[in-house]
Amino acid sequence: MSDDPTTRKPLALVTGASRGLGFAVAEALASTHHVMAVARTVGGLEDLDDRIQSAGGTATLAPLDVTDDGAMQHMCRSIHDRWGGLDLWAHTAIHAAPLGPAQMIAAKDWELSWKVNTEATRRLVAYVSPLLTARGGRAVFFDDPRAGQPFFGAYGATKAAQSALVASWAAETERTGPAVAMLAARPMATALRARFFPGEDRGALASPADEARRLLPEILGRS
């Protein structure tokens, strides 16, 4: 067995790992996996690493932007060269554009929503799929069906496009792998939700940590 502690456990890639559900999923996975945590926010990744290490786990931090094609190519090549593949990919990276009427969606908000929520997903599916196939791995996404709801034009449309892409990938790989799942989290007290519902009673919402623990069997494909 290798002396490198990062090769002794299955490898989980978590994109969008610096806050919210992504942070909580990465922390929950660290008890059984070496976690490669990807996000733009360095401080959030460092906080995650501190928590994982204090619990006896290990993580590799990748402060990268999922919309940067070159960075994603390099990351996936590095995963291949160091680990030979992936056992799990949990994708939580998302952009929450400001709410507003459809006729008033700013071009910059639409473009960023498309780049993060849809195009980055398409690109990562292409790059990560061979890594998962090499290890009989699994990909997990999280649904948030806002399509058609008032004022959710940019977020709802691009999140729906992401969900449709994932559903196609899941149907295409049902027999051949990798396994692909779209999971449903309960309403959580996250910064993203606070942007959508600023006056909401957050005490009635689930915590991301509790949801990560509840969903962990489904994330691992053991439910």
Active site residue ranges:
155
User: Are 178 and 87 contacting, i.e. CB atoms less than 8 angstroms apart?
Assistant: no
Paired with 91 in beta bridges are: 15
Q: Give the integer Cα–Cα distance in Å for 201 and 199.
A: 7
Cα–Cα distance measured from residue 181 to residue 100, given in angstroms and rounded to the nearest whole number? 31
- Provide CB contacts within 8 A for 33, sequence distance 6+: 9, 10, 11, 12, 87, 88
Name 46's Cβ contacts closer than 8 Å, sequence gap at least 6.
61
Written as six digits, the tokens of 196 are 């959508």
